[in-house]
Chain A
């Protein structure tokens, strides 16, 4: 699976959009971009995933560049409860199991 690079930490203001970048310059054509987050002391939580088209769900939007070498997770209206570590994961879409490899992630602090 391709390696990802994320900023170690970032702050954002409550009510504003939070834009979390992820670089995955060695991504292959059959690899998807996944985002998970982990709120303190809880298990990781799935947010969104995509291949090359932009994706949106009730939690967030995922913007993937045309060359697929980077992506941005957008939390449209950050709340204090969005304070967490956010993980960008790139992996092959495989039928037999979905083993995830978590890197360091971005520690996001939402401030009032």
Chain B
């Protein structure tokens, strides 16, 4: 299995509080991605990174920010969590070559009360 870890694995937080999720990889892959998964919506891309300090928005980026200061770490921040951000969050990595597959982490289950 690809070396991807996510932390925390579970988190419950209150509306309005900031939350940061961490994705860590040991594969030295160039690309990293954050998805969220909700019933009835499948997986939707939030943000992705194509290198250190290089990031771009996905289809559901509102309310989220990301940072990548090192190749191995990609952080997802909810500046002020809302109940609509209750979801399962998956990190993924890929080498960034044309057509290569993505490897996914185990996920973080976030509940905003």
**Tally of A-B residue pairs with Cβ under 8 A?**
59
Q: Interface residues of A, CB < 8 Å — how many?
A: 23
B107/A41 in contact, CB under 8 A: yes
Partner of B96, one of A93, A97, A102: A97
Q: Is the CB of B99 within 8 A of A98?
A: yes
Q: What chain A residues lie within 8 Å of B107 (beta carbons)? A: 41-43
B45 close to A99 (CB less than 8 A): yes
Residue pair A104, B42 in contact (C-beta under 8 Å): yes
Whether a CB of chain B sits under 8 angstroms from the CB of A7 is: no
- For residue A54, CB closer than 8 A to chain B, the reply is no
Say whether A42 contacts B106, CB under 8 Å.
yes
Q: In the bound complex, what is the Cα–Cα distance between A53 and B81 (angstroms)?
A: 46
Q: Does B33 contact A (CB under 8 A)?
A: yes
By DSSP majority rule, is chain A's interface helix, strand, loop, or mixed? loop
Is there contact, CB below 8 Å, between B98 and A93? Answer: yes
Q: Hey, which chain B residues are within 8 Å of A96, CB to CB?
A: 50, 96
Query: How far is A41 from B9 in the complex, measured between Cα atoms in Å?
Result: 11
When the two chains form their complex, are residues B99 and A93 in contact, meaning their CB atoms are under 8 A apart? yes
The reply to whether B100 and A44 form a contact with Cβ atoms under 8 Å apart is: no
Which B residues are CB-close (under 8 A) to A98?
31, 94, 96, 99-102
Is there an interface contact between B42 and A105, defined as CB atoms closer than 8 Å?
Answer: yes
Chain A residue numbers with a CB within 8 Å of B100 are 98
Q: 7 A–B contact pairs at CB < 8 A? A: A34-B101, A43-B105, A46-B103, A95-B97, A96-B50, A100-B43, A101-B45
Residues of A within 8 A of B (CB): 32, 34, 41-46, 49, 87, 93-105
Not counting A43-B104, A44-B90, a sample of 14 additional A-B residue pairs whose C-beta atoms are within 8 angstroms of each other reads: A34-B101, A42-B106, A43-B90, A44-B104, A94-B98, A95-B97, A97-B48, A97-B56, A98-B102, A99-B33, A99-B58, A101-B42, A101-B45, A103-B42
